[in-house]
Amino acid sequence: MTPPDDRALEPASKDASAPGPSDTEPAGASAPDGAAERFAALEQVGQRSSDLMIVIDRAGRVIYANPVALATFGISLEEGLGTNAFKYLHPDDVERVVLRFIELLGTPGASIRDTVRTLAEGGEVHELEIVSTNSIDNAAVGGIIINGHDVTEHRQYVERLREHEERFRLAFEGNMAPMIFTDLEDRVIAANDAFCKMIGFSEEELLGKDSAPFTYPEDVGITEESYRRMVKGELGQSRYVKRYLRKDGRIIYVEVSRSPARDAEGHTLYFVISERDITEERVLTEELSHQALHDPLTELPNRLLFDDRLKQAHARVLRQGGLGAVLLLDLDDFKGVNDSLGHLAGDQMLRAVAGRLQQVTRDSDTLCRFGGDEFLYLAEGLHTPGEAEQVAARLIESLAAPFLIGGSYVEQHSSIGVVVWDATRTDNDEFVQEADVALYEAKREGKGHYVVFTPSMHQQAISRFALTQELRHAFAAGEISMHYQPILNLATSEIEGFEALMRWRHPQRGLIAPSVFIPLAEQSELILDLGSFALRESVAAASSWRLPASKKGQPYVTVNLSAHQFHDPSLVTMVEGALALSGLAPERLVLEITESVTLLYVAETMSVMEHLGRLGISFALDDFGTGFSSLSYLALLHPRIIKIDQSFVSPVLQSLRHDDLLEAIVSLGHKLNMTMLAEGIETTEQLARLRSLGCELGQGFLFSAAVPAEDVAELLARSPDSWG
């Protein structure tokens, strides 16, 4: 609908023409006669008003407009007076407004409230809230008064606010992150679907309640202080972790981010709380932490966790007094399990040992796998050193019963080094090292022992370390040599062979006993180099020894093999090479192995012995009767010679029991068709008794000490009746 012309709404009896305004006429100059006087009062009001004011006549022509109205339409006074008021409307609003105008004309004194849009000359749209009053019959006005104000910016603000609220509503209700709003009493005033799903309660069940019903009881009140500071405006926001108790009873961990919503003055209105279920993260973190701090095979704490527990325990002793102890446990026979049954069986053994040790671990203590076949035990709350020894004895006893591994029963024993400390020890860095020193001493005493560390042991350890370094130098400098002790036929007093024995002559300390440096070599892996040297030297020396042709295979040389050597994959090749280089007949070489080596690694032992036996080499079983003997294995391996340990020979005349044992050992060897060799013969009485028992061979100081290679020829030249 187009705007009406100047006469469209004028009654027929009226003169519709109106003179145009002049530049000097007042605001109502173009109005009908007498209008200037009528508008005087309105003009005073309009000039002061901050609202728009327009007066139009019956035909819709502008007969008055105040400055606000002129500014709104973007026109001057001269441009506005006498013009059709409807042409300033937005085209889309004209039809509706004209109809309302016609309706208003028919009701003198009536008013209509409306909202209209205007279109200024420059194309700018304004939205106005107006009140139109029919004052045509009012002699002081004679037109329709339109009062209004521009609500464009307000409408835009309201629209923006609505859009913001809509976006916020969508962001809240549709957010995948759980969210709630709480009032200043921490009662829920809104909760989105994600939050309801997280805790299993509906929004209706939550509204008006605080968080206590769905908070894990121990975590209720966990954030009271931060909440109080937020209400007071001292804290901008807070983030914390707490546990919720879902409706189904399941416990979940959540990360809570709480922020206050404040008014322009900074007063807190309510709280916006965003939450995140971190239960799976927590479980994963705990799993990773457990993996980082625990041994994957035994599930025991590892060294990292042990060190932390040790620091805490040491700090408690410093504060509260009392004693603490570190025990280092090492399995005595574990290598035999790995080598004979395989590494899977070894792993099974370690798990079984860990289980046994855990059964006797006190709640206050910590058991840890140190590495390999070693375990660390931290004992706390002790009052006397004797209590630490009781712990050690209990740990050793827990391993006394055999283990069922891979369908076989296996004996497993342990040695333990113990360190006890009190508040005078200001640091804990050396406790494990000292326990290791004590462990070394325990192993020297034999299997299944514990030893408590003393300061003197530390100096001994330093000496051992220094001696080990000197041993490396001694080997390279040629200070190591081989000596040979004759082995005699006790019936004929003739030499049948020699045992090769290693000697170390230190330039400052003199002769160092093999019982001192051989264990050091075994610990430092020098034993392989020393063993190879002993074999080469002994075979080369034996190749120069001569006896009558009737003494076939004599004189032989016996060479000791350590456990490391015997299970060295290169042993067979090394023996073959030494024989080939020296030209010594294989039947003149006897390899000595200890009873413990043969019985721990039976399958491997048999394989090596069979291979070397096919070359013509024979074996002697050393130190018989001092280990864990197994007669069935002894018959299976069938060594050529069994060497009777000197502990059974020396006290033979002092104890009837030892004499009975000696007789039984010799008799056993004969029944198994093996040659018996007695070690450590020092007296003629011992020799006589051994001869009476029918012991075939013997060696000892009664005949000769071990001599250098260059003196062997002299011994071979002696007559049989010169011995003893």
pLDDT digits (tens, 9 = 90+) for 674-684: 999 999 999 99
Global confidence as pTM: 0.52
Q: Return the DSSP state at 321.
A: -
- Give the model's pLDDT for residue 467: 80
How many other C-beta atoms lie within 10 A of the C-beta of residue 441?
19
What is the pLDDT at residue 675?
94
pLDDT value at residue 40: 67
Q: Kindly give, in sequence order, each residue whose CB lies less than 8 Å from that of residue 486, ignoring residues fewer than 6 positions away.
A: 495, 497, 498, 699, 703, 704, 715
Query: Rounded to whole angstroms, how far apart are CA atoms 632 and 674?
Result: 14
Q: What is the pLDDT of residue 37?
A: 58
Quote the CA–CA distance of 55 and 66 in Å, as a whole number: 9
- What's the CA gap between 229 and 54, in Å, rounded? 56
**Pairwise CA distance, residues 101 & 124, whole Å:** 24
Please give the pLDDT value at position 14.
35
- The span from the CA of 697 to the CA of 346, in Å, is 40
Phi and psi dihedrals of 536, rounded to 5? -65, -45
Which comes out higher in pLDDT, residue 36 or 467?
467
Helix (H) or strand (E) holding 707: strand 707-708
Confidence check: pLDDT of 9 > 50:
no
| 469 and 356 Cβ atoms separated by less than 8 Å | no
Report CA 262 to chain centroid distance, whole Å: 43
Digit-coded pLDDT (tens) for 404-454 = 887 888 888 899 999 999 999 888 888 999 999 999 889 888 788 999 998
Find out whether 569 and 528 touch, Cβ atoms under 8 Å. Answer: no
DSSP assignment, residue 217? G
d(CA 471, CA 503): 12
pLDDT in tens, 275-317: 889 888 888 877 777 778 888 899 999 999 999 999 999 999 9
Q: Identify which has the larger pLDDT, 43 or 326.
A: 326
**Domain 294-453: CATH architecture, name and number where available:** 2-Layer Sandwich (3.30)
* CA distance to 475, 488, 652, per residue, from 492 (Å): 39, 8, 22
What's the rounded mean pLDDT across residues 347-371?
Answer: 93
User: How high is the pLDDT of residue 626?
Assistant: 61
The pLDDT of residue 209 = 87
Domain boundaries, the chain: 35-156, 174-283, 294-453, 481-504+525-719
Q: What is the pLDDT of residue 11?
A: 35
In the chain, DSSP finds a helix count (H) and a strand count (E) of 26, 27
Contact predicate 92/121, CB 8 Å? no
Whether residue 31 is predicted with pLDDT greater than 70 in this model: the reply is no
The CATH number given to 481-504+525-719 is 3.20.20.450
Main-chain phi, psi angles of 164, to 5 degrees: -65, -45
Q: Which tens digit of pLDDT belongs to each residue from 75-108?
A: 888 888 888 888 888 899 889 888 888 888 888 8
User: How many whole angstroms from its chain centre is CA 530?
Assistant: 43
User: What is the C-alpha to C-alpha distance for residues 21 and 29, in angstroms, rounded to an integer?
Assistant: 6
269-292: b or e for each residue (b if 16 or more CB lie within 10 Å)? eebbbbbebeeeebeeeeeeeeee
What pLDDT does 23 receive? 35
Q: Which of 657, 573, 674 is nearest to 619 (CA)?
A: 674
Of the candidates 386, 255, 378, 391, the one whose C-alpha atom is nearest the C-alpha of residue 313 is 378
Q: Could you tell me the pLDDT band of residue 171, with boundaries at 50, 70 and 90?
A: low
Neighbours of 296 (CB within 10 A): 9
pLDDT band with cut points at 50, 70 and 90 for residue 599: low
Element (H, E) at 483: strand 480-489
User: What band does 3 get if pLDDT is binned at 50, 70 and 90?
Assistant: very low
- Output the CA–CA distances (angstroms, integers) from residue 516 to 9, 415, 447, in the order listed: 133, 20, 18
How far the first Cα of the chain sits from its last, in Å, is 149
Sequence-distant (6+) residues with CB within 8 A of 5 are 84
CA distance 514 to 406: 39
CATH tag for 174-283 (out of 3.30.450.20, 3.40.50.720, 3.40.50.300, 3.30.70.260) = 3.30.450.20
Q: Please determine, for residue 27, whether its predicted confidence score (pLDDT) is greater than 60.
A: no
**pLDDT(17) > 60:** no
Does the pLDDT value for residue 623 go beyond 90?
A: no
User: Which of 74-83, 140-149, 171-180, 437-446 is predicted least confidently?
Assistant: 171-180
SS3 245: strand
Mean of the pLDDT values across residues 630-641?
74
CATH topology of domain 35-156: Beta-Lactamase (3.30.450)
Give the pLDDT score at 523: 76
- Residue 405, SS3 per DSSP: strand
Q: In this predicted structure, what is the pLDDT of residue 330?
A: 93
Task: Give the helix ranges, DSSP H, for 74-222.
Answer: 77-80, 91-105, 152-173, 193-199, 203-206
Residues 6+ apart with CB under 8 A from 623: 594, 595, 643, 645
> Which token pair is 364?
């206050």
- Contact at 8 Å (CB) between 314 and 421? yes
* DSSP string over 272-314: EEEEEE-HHHHHHHHHHHHHHHB-TTT--B-HHHHHHHHHHHH
Query: What pLDDT shows up at residue 476?
Result: 80
**Do the first three CATH levels of 35-156 and 294-453 match, i.e. the same topology?**
no
* Strands of 238-245's sheet in order across: 188-191, 179-182, 268-277, 251-262, 238-245
Question: pLDDT tens, 197-247?
Answer: 999 999 899 898 888 888 888 888 777 777 777 777 777 788 888 899 999
Vertex 599 angle, CA 594 and 600, to 5°: 100
Q: How confident is the model at residue 654 (pLDDT cuts 50, 70, 90)?
A: low
Would the pLDDT of 588 be above 90? Answer: yes
Instruction: In whole angstroms, give the CA distance from residue 555 to residue 720.
Output: 14
213: DSSP letter: G
pLDDT band at 22 (very low <50, low <70, confident <90, very high): very low
Tokens standing for residue 339 = 């080598």
Residue pLDDT, tens place only, 518-549: 888 887 778 888 889 999 999 999 999 987 66
Distance (Å, rounded) from C-alpha 419 to C-alpha 516? 25
Residue 138: the pLDDT is 78
pLDDT reported for residue 166: 65
Contact 475, 525 (CB under 8 A): no
Neighbours of 258 (CB within 10 A): 21
Separation between Cα atoms, residue 265 and residue 268, nearest integer Å: 9
Distance CA 528, CA 584 (A): 22
Residue 349: which H helix or E strand, with range? helix 343-359
pLDDT in tens, 319-353: 999 999 999 999 987 877 877 778 888 899 999 99
Tokens of 613: 């036996």
Can the peptide bond before residue 11 be classed as cis, meaning omega within 30 degrees of 0? no
Q: Is 649 in contact with 677 (CB distance < 8 Å)? A: no
pLDDT of residue 562: 84
DSSP three-state, residue 329 = strand
Q: What is the DSSP letter of 25?
A: S
* Predicted confidence (pLDDT) at residue 627 exceeds the cutoff of 80: no
How crowded is the C-beta side of 307, counted as CA atoms within 13 Å? 8
Q: What is the pLDDT of residues 458-482, one digit of tens each?
A: 777 777 778 888 888 887 888 989 9
pLDDT attached to residue 109: 85
Structure tokens at 54: 């327009």
CB 649 within 8 A of CB 680: yes
- Segment 496-502 mean pLDDT: 95
**pLDDT above 70: percentage of residues in the chain:** 88
**3-class SS string, 365-387:** CEEEEEECCEEEEEEEEECCHHH
Residue 257 has pLDDT above 50, yes or no: yes
Which of 422, 402, 424 shows the shortest CA–CA distance to 413?
402
